[in-house]
Amino acid sequence: MPTVHLTEANFKSTVESGLVFLDFWAAWCGPCRIIAPILDQLATEYSGKAKVAKLDVDANIRTATRFNVRSIPMVIFFKDGKVVDQVIGAVPRPVLEEKFKKHAA
């Protein structure tokens, strides 16, 4: 399943539907570009178990502020609309993969 691009308009309906790993990012953010291919790979590997979504913080300031996003990339893990975990920064694949395994189990 490909990565889903969120906006403030479709945010609520997406994060309330099961397990969602949401990447808060921006086009100008170098570390965001580093983890993007990792998240794309994990989206494919965990297809059917979890959704991977992206939210551009510049275009969706209200939602980024709501979740206190002060540093990007920031991946927040939602389960049925509730925040259950988060990762801040360009972390290596094993760190993200461990979080995926933990929450998708």
The number of beta carbons lying within 10 Å of the beta carbon of residue 58 is 12
Structure letter (DSSP) for residue 3? P
Lookup: tokens for 68: 């206190």
Determine which one of 15, 19, 29, 72 is catalytic.
29
The question of whether 46 is a catalytic residue gets the answer no
Determine which one of 15, 19, 32, 64 is catalytic.
32
The question of whether 6 is a catalytic residue gets the answer no
Per DSSP, helices labelled H in 1-105 are: 11-15, 30-45, 61-66, 93-104
Q: Give the residue numbers annotated as catalytic, written as ranges.
A: 29, 32
